[in-house]
Every structure is written in C-alpha cells, then in structure tokens.
C-alpha cells in the first residue's frame, strides 16, 4: 500500500503546484494598465493602484489584495521600468489596499500611511461595516514604517507629491495623494462612480467626515483632473464637485430627518439619494449607514 499512497500523494502535490501556477497566471492576466500622463493606473488586483517611477524605485499608491501581490508588483516594475517599489502609500487600512505591504516591506521599501491606519493594521479589527469576519493584524514587516498625522508634501523623482488627511470619511485614517504637475489625484476609498463607498461608522467614520473630505478634495482639483478612486473607473475633478454638492445636500436633509425623530430604517425606505441609484447603485444601505453615523457623531451647533 505504501507505493500507492506515495503515488497519490505525488499526484496531489503536482496538482496543487499546477493549480497554483494557473492561479498566478490568471491573476497576472487580470492586471490591466492605463497611462495617466506620467503615472500608470493598474486595475484588476482587487483595487485601483497607481505608480510613478523614481531613480531608486517606484512610488506605488495602494497594493490590491494579497493574492494578487506578485502579479501586481511584476506589472508595476515593468510599467515603471524599475526593479523595486521604493515607497508604498496606503490610502487606508482595508485588505484591498494593503495586499502588497508584506512583499514591499520584505524588499526594504518604505510603507507610508496615516497613524490611525498603522494602528488598525497592527490589531485585529472586529466591527468594520461591510466585513463579515474579523480582519487580522498584518505581520510587523507589512505594517507602515512611516506615519503622518495631517497634511504634508514630499518630493519623489522630481514630482511634488502632496497628501491630505481626511478624518472620519471612509475609515478614520484616509489619505488622498495629489500630483500637481500630473493633474492627478488618488482619492482612495472616499468616492466612486460605481458604488456607494463604505461609511464605517463603527470605527470612527460618519457622514460629516465624508462631506468634509469631498469638500477638501473639491478645493484641490481642476475640472479636468484625473481622480482615481479605490473602486471603479477614473473620475474627473468635475465629478468630485458634483459629489461634494450631493453629500452637502444629503447632510442637510439628514439633519432635518433627525429633527423629525426618524431613524436609519426610515432612510432605507425614503431613499433620499434615489436619484443617483441608476448611476451608482441602490442607495438604501448607504442612507441607513449615513443616518446611523449621524446618530453617533453629530452634535448640533
């Protein structure tokens, strides 16, 4: 019987190897690129990723899911003609943004994020809205090595790179990254044209934070600025202004509903954002979360 067990074990091993290779090839096939005029957009890794070349390696913003990290990093190196990722900026802590952290960290790259993102990545997160299971902490090598507390700027390969903190907007550690020379803004998970971005009211986010964040980005962009969200197609600065107006109007509406004693369930039925359903998707859950967040965080003047 021993030879039979050995043969079966060997076949099983080869099948696993073949399946793994096939999965990696499929993951690499899913990565697509688009030129953003000095930067490259990568899609298909689990979330949108942007990279620009530098003399000592690439600057990469967000890193997709862990299962796609190898394929993504290979694509980034090819597109930027670099041998490594020198700096990785996490716009926030979600798994769709931090999947390349460990590979970049092991290669000696700098991982930059807001200090609240660093805190969340170093601990198990239990109560994030939208996650059905707890999210485990990343290993130390994958956690941010450089943190910021507010807005700032740095130079990378001759490019001015500005970053802005958007408190309580999507998570409580969101950053945008702005390249003025490239007329490019990487917005993270705060906006999208294809889905209602998560409002994680159980971990610090609320509708007022979302409003302030989109107002802040609207003040940075031009109408033709390329805006890259975490999810979906590239937006424009004009789209950001329209979303600013949408969220400002919603905020005022929600204050009125609170004053009438309405609750989240009423929002899911009334759907104050229903005019946007055809474009962005069913707004019922977002409206529920928005009022729920205001019941937690809103303090009248």
pLDDT tens profile 219-253: 999 999 999 999 999 999 999 999 999 999 999 99
Q: What share of the chain is helix, strand, coil (3-state, %, to 5)?
A: 45, 20, 35
Q: Identify the pLDDT of residue 180.
A: 98
Dihedral of the CA atoms 245, 247, 250, 252 (nearest 10)?
A: -70
Lateral strand order in the sheet of 152-156: 152-156, 159-166, 174-179, 184-188, 226-229, 235-236
At residue 15 the predicted structure's pLDDT band, cuts being 50, 70 and 90, is very low
pLDDT digits (tens, 9 = 90+) for 29-74: 489 999 999 999 999 999 999 999 999 999 999 999 999 999 999 9
Q: Which of 165, 214, 208 is nearest to 301 (CA)?
A: 208
DSSP, res 274 = G
Q: Which of 152, 238, 154, 133 is nearest to 191 (CA)?
A: 238
Average pLDDT in the chain: 91
Q: Identify the pLDDT of residue 128.
A: 67
pLDDT digits (tens, 9 = 90+) for 258-287: 999 999 999 989 999 999 999 999 999 999
The structural domains of the chain, ordered by start, are 32-236 (3.60.15.10)
> pLDDT exceeding 70 applies to what percent of the chain?
89
Which tokens go with 271?
A: 């759907």
- SS3 state at 160: strand
DSSP E strand boundaries for 64-221: 85-89, 110-114, 146-148, 152-156, 159-166, 174-179, 184-188
Check: CB of residue 214 under 8 Å from CB of residue 243.
yes
pLDDT at 18 over 60: no
pLDDT at 28 over 50: no
């Amino acid at each position: 019987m021993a030879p039979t067990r050995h043969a079966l074990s060997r076949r099983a091993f080869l099948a696993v190897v073949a399946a793994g290779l096939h999965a990696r090839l499929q993951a690499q096939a899913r990565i697509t690129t688009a030129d953003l005029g000095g930067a490259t957009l990568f899609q298909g890794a689990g979330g949108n990723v942007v990279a620009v070349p530098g003399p000592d390696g690439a600057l990469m913003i967000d890193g997709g899911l862990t299962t796609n990290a190898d394929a993504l990093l290979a694509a980034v190196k090819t597109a930027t003609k670099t041998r490594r990722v020198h700096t990785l900026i996490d716009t926030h802590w979600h798994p769709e943004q931090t999947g390349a952290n460990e590979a970049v960290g092991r290669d000696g790259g700098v991982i930059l994020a807001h200090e609240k993102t660093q805190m969340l990545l170093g601990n198990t997160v239990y109560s994030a809205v939208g996650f059905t299971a707890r999210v485990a902490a990343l290993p130390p090598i994958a956690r941010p090595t450089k943190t910021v507390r507010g807005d700032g700027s740095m130079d990378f390969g001759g490019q001015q790179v500005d970053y802005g903190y958007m408190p309580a907007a999507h998570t409580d550690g969101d950053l945008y990254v702005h390249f003025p020379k490239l007329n490019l803004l990487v917005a993270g998970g705060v906006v999208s044209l294809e889905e209602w971005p998560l409002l994680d009211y159980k971990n610090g986010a609320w509708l007022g934070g979302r409003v302030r964040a989109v107002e802040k980005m609207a003040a940075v962009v031009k109408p033709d600025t390329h805006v890259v969200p975490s999810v979906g197609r590239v937006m424009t600065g004009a789209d950001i202004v329209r979303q600013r107006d949408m969220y400002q109007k919603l905020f005022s509406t929600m204050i009125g509903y609170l004053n009438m004693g309405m609750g989240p369930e009423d929002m899911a039925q009334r759907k104050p954002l229903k005019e946007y359903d055809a474009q962005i998707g069913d707004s019922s859950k977002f409206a529920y979360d928005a009022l729920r967040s205001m019941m937690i965080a809103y303090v009248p003047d």
